[in-house]
Copies of this chain bind each other. A is one copy, B any other.
Amino acid sequence: MDKLDNNEQIEGVIVQPLKQIVDERGTVLHMLRKDSPLFMGFGEIYFSEVKFDVVKAWKRHKKMTQHFAVPYGKILLVIYDSREGSKTFGKINKYLLGRPDNYNLLRIPPQVYYGFKSLNDTVSLIANCADIPHSPDETEKIDINNNIIPYQWN
């Protein structure tokens, strides 16, 4: 089970299981193809390494739609819907991402906050395939402790 809360799924978030072609020499791991119904255009692919027990939070993008997959390690991803017009405004979602049981593509829509923590005993690696290239102009960060997001990282 990859969703760890009982809240409604935040509007615009999509979770799709990804194919893992198991091979004794090493598994081939799908992520995103341009003929996928989830593909929204290519802006950038990059990786975020997260060391064990480290939290990277909170961030949101004004315009970028992100697609996350975790090809190595295990991540707890927390999303907060900060869009006042959204049906799920104020809701928190928590997801596990990692292989083999939670090797999913997870879409994070723009204008929602997200943060993540590595649960692996070494490091985890998040791949992000975003529809626009990263730009500091459309990225907003707030402190891990704040008065906006009703979530405490342990």
User: Which residues of A are interface residues toward B (Cβ below 8 A)?
Assistant: 24-35, 42-51, 54-56, 71-72, 118, 123, 125, 127, 129, 133-134
- Chain B min CB distance to A65 (Å): 14
Given A26-B56, A26-B123, A127-B127, check contact A44 B33 (CB 8 Å).
yes
Inter-chain CA distance A34–B34, complex, in Å, is: 14
A43: which B residues are within 8 A, CB to CB?
33-34
In the complex the two chains form, is B25's CB within 8 Å of A45's CB? no
Would you list 6 pairs from A and B whose C-beta atoms are within 8 A, ordered by A residue?
A26-B49, A26-B123, A30-B46, A31-B47, A32-B44, A45-B45
In the complex the two chains form, is B72's CB within 8 Å of A46's CB? no
A26: which B residues are within 8 A, CB to CB?
48-51, 54, 56, 118, 123
A45: which B residues are within 8 A, CB to CB?
31-32, 45, 127, 129
Inter-chain CA distance A49–B27, complex, in Å, is: 5
Q: Which residue of B lies closest to A55 (CB)?
A: B25
In the complex the two chains form, is A47's CB within 8 Å of B29's CB? yes
Indicate which residue in B50, B71, B127 contacts A49 across the interface (CB closer than 8 Å). Answer: B71
Indicate which residue in B28, B46, B54 contacts A29 across the interface (CB closer than 8 Å). Answer: B46
Among A25, A46, A56, A72, residue most surrounded by chain B Cβ atoms (within 10 Å):
A46
In the complex the two chains form, is B56's CB within 8 Å of A25's CB? yes
Inter-chain CA distance A29–B49, complex, in Å, is: 8
- Chain B min CB distance to A86 (Å): 28
